[in-house]
């Protein structure tokens, strides 16, 4: 990469961090948000605002780098931290915890939320931690609801199916230009 392109990518990373990522506090939210900007068929990232200010290539590479950094942060989090990040993420997307856990255990959406070309062992470690974090969280919910009817603790009376909920959550991932999760 020539020096000019390198500088452009650096500026794009700084710009994106300042305008958008700084308002997304949790690394898990950042990783999922950034993965939603990637075309799964080509692996290329796209963000309207960033592509307006920089070239497509620089914007793509800047987003890839931010995604990589978010992945590193999530993968180096302890289990306790990961559980808390997942709880925070579910709350931010207005998901019911028990539905969230059921869908994440079944669909494993975190598998498509990682950057391409990651070290396979680090990736496997992160997937394993997600699995464990879901088990810990589920166990905590069960203990909390012991002695009370599960429906009153974990479910709202008029729930839609978990898959419907998941689809809605996915669409909720896109933040506004200002960076807030909508």
CB contact at 8 A, 94 and 34: no
45 pairs with which residues across the strands?
Answer: 38
Binder to other proteins among 17, 19, 44, 141 (CB under 8 A)? 44
Question: Maximum Cα–Cα distance for the chain, whole Å?
Answer: 64
175 pairs with which residues across the strands?
Answer: 181
Indicate the angle between helix axes 162-172 and 97-107, nearest 10 degrees. 90
Please identify, using beta-carbon distances, which residue of 96 and 136 lies nearer to other proteins: 136
Q: What is the CA radius of gyration of the chain?
A: 18
Site for other proteins in 51-110 (CB under 8 A): 51, 56-57, 59-61, 64, 76, 78-80
Q: How far is the CB of 158 from other proteins (least distance, A)?
A: 31
Give the span between the Cα atoms of 60 and 19, in whole angstroms.
16
Please identify, using beta-carbon distances, which residue of 80 and 163 lies nearer to other proteins: 80
The mark string for 1-40 relative to other proteins (x by CB under 8 A, - otherwise) is: -------------------------------------xx-
Binder to other proteins among 4, 42, 147, 149 (CB under 8 A)? 42
181: contact with other proteins by CB under 8 A: no
The alpha helices in 20-119, defined as continuous H runs, are 27-35, 48-53, 56-75, 79-92, 97-107
Structural element, H or E, at residue 125: helix 120-144
Please identify, using beta-carbon distances, which residue of 12 and 21 lies nearer to other proteins: 12
121: contact with other proteins by CB under 8 A: yes
Q: Which residues bind other proteins (CB under 8 A)?
A: 38-39, 42-46, 51, 56-57, 59-61, 64, 76, 78-80, 115-117, 119-122, 124-125, 128, 131-132, 135-136, 139-140
């Amino acid at each position: 990469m020539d020096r000019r392109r390198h500088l452009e990518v650096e500026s794009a990373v700084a710009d994106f961090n300042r305008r958008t990522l700084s308002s997304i506090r949790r690394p898990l939210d950042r990783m999922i948000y950034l993965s939603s900007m990637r075309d799964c068929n080509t692996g290329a990232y796209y963000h309207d605002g960033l592509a307006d200010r920089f070239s497509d290539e620089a914007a793509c590479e800047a987003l890839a780098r931010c995604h990589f950094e978010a992945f590193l942060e999530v993968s180096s989090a302890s289990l306790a931290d990961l559980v808390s990040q997942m709880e925070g993420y579910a709350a931010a997307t207005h998901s019911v915890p028990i539905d969230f856990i059921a869908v994440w255990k079944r669909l494993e959406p975190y598998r498509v939320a990682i950057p391409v070309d990651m070290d396979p062992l680090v990736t496997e470690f992160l997937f394993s931690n997600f699995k464990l974090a879901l088990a810990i969280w589920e166990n905590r919910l069960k203990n909390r609801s012991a002695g009370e009817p599960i429906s009153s603790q974990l479910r709202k009376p008029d729930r839609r199916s978990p898959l419907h909920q998941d689809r809605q959550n996915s669409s909720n991932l896109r933040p506004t230009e200002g960076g807030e999760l909508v």
